[in-house]
């Protein structure tokens, strides 16, 4: 992803993304850039530290290329997928927002098998990339 745009750029291009900025108890970071082929891309990340100051966290992430092409997921502290969805932006935002916090007994915890061809990096470095604006989603 090339140059980073502001939250305002993301919300102007994809208005449903504004919903992520008003969720009580969660603080999503939004940014945008260009795909390798020059298209627009928006991303959002919210992290849940294992404990204060921990370098490892659970993460809710979302990538949107258009109102009809989005991907959302939660990763565990090792960067492995525990929840995943592709679809329209509104549906994917609903999915990401309905996942209970990691400490909730109903939150997903089992690692999903690696899905071939989805462009998701399930490596321990995925969260580090997320915090630097380069989620491998």
Taking only the tens place, the pLDDT of each residue in 16-44 is 999 999 888 888 999 988 888 888 999 99
32, β-bridge pairs? 5, 42
Q: Distance between CA 101 and CA 57 in Å, rounded? A: 12
Q: Distance between CA 121 and CA 112 in Å, rounded? A: 12
What is the DSSP code (8-state) at residue 123?
S
Size (the chain), residues: 137
Rounded mean pLDDT of the chain? 80
pLDDT tens digits for range 102-114:
989 999 998 887 6
For residue 75, pLDDT beyond 80: yes
Considering the entire predicted model, what is its pTM? 0.76
Tokens representing 105 are 């007994």
pLDDT tens digits for range 55-65:
788 999 999 99
Among 81, 132, 100, residue whose Cα is nearest residue 25:
100
């Amino acid at each position: 992803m090339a140059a980073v745009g502001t939250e305002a750029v993301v919300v102007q291009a994809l208005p449903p993304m504004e919903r992520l900025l008003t969720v009580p108890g969660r603080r999503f970071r939004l940014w945008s850039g260009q795909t390798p082929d020059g298209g627009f891309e928006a991303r959002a990340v919210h992290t849940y530290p294992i404990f204060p100051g921990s370098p490892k966290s659970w993460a809710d992430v979302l990538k949107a290329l258009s109102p009809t092409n989005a991907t959302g997921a939660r990763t565990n502290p090792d960067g492995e997928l525990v929840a995943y969805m592709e679809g329209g932006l509104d549906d994917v935002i609903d999915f990401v927002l309905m996942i209970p916090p990691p400490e909730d007994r109903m939150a997903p915890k089992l690692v999903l098998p690696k899905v071939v061809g989805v462009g998701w990096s399930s490596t321990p470095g995925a969260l580090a990339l997320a915090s630097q604006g380069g989620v491998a989603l």
